[in-house]
A and B are shown apart, each in its own frame.
Chain A
Amino acid sequence: MSDPVTATEKSSDNPILWVAKPMVTAARQFAKSLVRPSTVIYPYERLEDPKFRDQVRIESGKPIGVGPIWDNYRGVHALNIATCISCNLCAFSCPDLCIEMVTVPGGDPKHPKKCPQIDYGKCSYCGFCSDACPEGCLTMTTRYELSVTKRSEMVYSPQKMFGIYEQKLPMHPIRVERPANEDQILLEPPLCIGCNACARDCPTQCITMLDIPKPEAKAGEKVPKRIWKEPVVNDSDCVRCGTCINVCPKECLFWGNRK
């Protein structure tokens, strides 16, 4: 670490002719701006236009230009309904509670397909939902124009977000890697009653109910009344949505880490 400096000593910009320096500076900027001011005439030009995106330009009088990394912008969501698995992770991870899972056609009557519906009046564009989405079907796009005349129009239904998906906007290419050793779904076997609720509701169908041997009744003890099956989680397919934990009637599933 070098010696600290005094800012006053470094600056030698003293006035010449009272106001000559600022006036010359302003005039120089005037001459530069006559050619091309830095502003973008918004409704007619946009930052996502090719002329701003093709190259990053920082030159005199023209300091704007995000370039292709503009695509990282976190704007309105796009939702691919076809690949959505109704795992609820987006709704859970939303800090503003603006995501509601609503039924969309396509599921079977017993287990309706549910996709996120986002209220942009509450959304803070933090991107936690698209980070959490295990299938990559909920992404954020570069679309940023949201003005509507009614508050109810701020609520984007899954179909509307699917429409945005079909526009094929640049979609937030930064993908967040999943942590190397995540917690897994673990089972507390004595509590399980083999009710199949977890396997039934698992959005990725990664839980299979395997038969277990029915123990012999010991003297003085009753054999517990249950279905003699136990869930086994296929860890590579599991998206860690926690649905099985939530539906388990006996609270025998929990998060843990065996590694």
Chain B
Amino acid sequence: MSSATLYSVSYFLVNYVLTHIGSVLPAPLNAWITNGDLVTGLAVLVFGAILLGASMINTIVLIWWERKLLGRFMDRRGAMHVGYAGLLQNFADGFKLFRKNTFRPREADWLGFFSGPTAYLVTSFVIFGILPISSGWNSGVLPLSLLLALAIFSFAPLFIFVSAWSSNNKYSLMGGMRSAAQMIAYEVPLLLAVVAVVIVSGSFDLTTIVYEQQNYWFWGPLFLALVVFVAGMLAEMERIPFDLPEAEAELVEGWNTEYGGMLFAFFMLADYLRALVGSILVVLLFLGGWTMPTWVPSAATSFPLAGIFWFMVKTYLVFGLFVWIRASLPRVRTDQLLRVGWNRMIPLSLCAVFLAAALVLAKCVWPFGCLPSMGV
């Protein structure tokens, strides 16, 4: 199980298919088609395709999950008609958006207008190549995977601002401005909270961070960092109560007011991709990733793909927490958001960093237990 990474699986598939094709081809083609570079290149492509499909399906199921949960919070059912309990509703919606005409306002700048959502979607998607979903997923490939993921994650305000500005609409522009201000303000406490995790685990590699949580998950000792991280993540994901860039009450739809059809679907997908990434990061950094506590019976953790299963369960539960917050809190105002961000969140995250340092010095904390061996 641990050796079967996604890349090795795709490499095996490509190699298998190409070898069989090569065996029936004449001599020069036969050597060309089975050469190592081609196999590696195709394997990367297949790897990307599998990842794209998996993440898209997960995103759409995540939207369904949010709709159903929100429905119950609001004393209704959510989507019901297409598929079992409305499971296929979002696929139908996506298909409808796909079929719709894509147009742009005459005065809009076409380059920014079209490249903004595309780049937003692509950068949101790229993160999935970095995140480990299960043991040995991409272990040791990226020693700085956490930093890389967060760096790509923070590209978003740029593309949002580009698409907001280029759509030549006052509401879009205000939404883009708000978005940029908010994301930059919350980037700092978010990273500081991550620093706390890095201090305790001693690594920037997400796989290592997960393995460092074998004695106890980090959410207990690093609770302050978790709170700051979740709040910052809410702001980064632009979800209620921090969804003021697209505050539909005053800004119509914020920075995607002028978008429709497939470009709007890009935004929508990318938003939920980022929500999925946010939930996955919370699981990886604070909830032990795919590992389960020792008191869980081994039957529950030893079946095939158990790691992925428990990882997804945790991810969806964390996203459920975001939905719960969305169902019960109103939206804050821009100045309040920024004031909370700079005046409250940064001191809190600094406290979290100091607490993490103290934890490292103390080595053992009641009732959680001792740190595993330090070191990269």
Contact = CB atoms under 8 A, between A and B. Distances in A.
Interface of A: 19, 22-23, 25-27, 29-30, 32-34, 37-39, 41, 61
B71 A26 contact: no
Interface residues of B, number: 14
Interface in B163-182: none
Contacts of A33: 71-76
B364 interface: no
B330 to A, nearest CB: 9
B327 interface: yes
A41 B86 CA distance: 12
Contacts of B75: 29, 32-33, 37-39, 61
Nearest to A19: B329
Contacts of A19: 328-329
11 contacts: A19-B329, A23-B325, A25-B328, A26-B327, A29-B73, A32-B75, A33-B71, A33-B75, A37-B72, A39-B77, A41-B77
Interface in B32-85: 69, 71-77, 80
A187 B5 CA distance: 102
B223 interface: no
Given A23-B328, A26-B328, A34 B77 contact: no
B80 A41 contact: yes
B328 A34 contact: no
B354 interface: no
A37 B73 contact: no
A131 B75 CA distance: 39
Give the 3 A-B CB pairs with smallest separation, nearest first: A26-B328, A22-B328, A33-B72
B342 interface: no
B71 A37 contact: yes
A26 B76 contact: no
Given A19-B329, A23-B328, A25-B328, A30 B76 contact: no
Interface in B307-325: 324-325
Contacts of A27: 73, 324, 328
Contacts of A25: 328
Contacts of A38: 75-76
A30 B77 contact: no
A249 B254 CA distance: 70
Given A23-B329, A33-B74, A37-B75, 9 more contacts: A19-B328, A23-B324, A23-B325, A27-B73, A27-B324, A29-B74, A38-B75, A38-B76, A61-B75
B73 A30 contact: yes
Nearest to A29: B75
A129 B71 CA distance: 41
A136 B80 CA distance: 42
The interface centre, meaning the residue of B76, B325, B327 with most chain A CB atoms within 10 A of its CB, is B327
The interface centre, meaning the residue of B71, B72, B76, B324 with most chain A CB atoms within 10 A of its CB, is B72
A96 B308 CA distance: 65
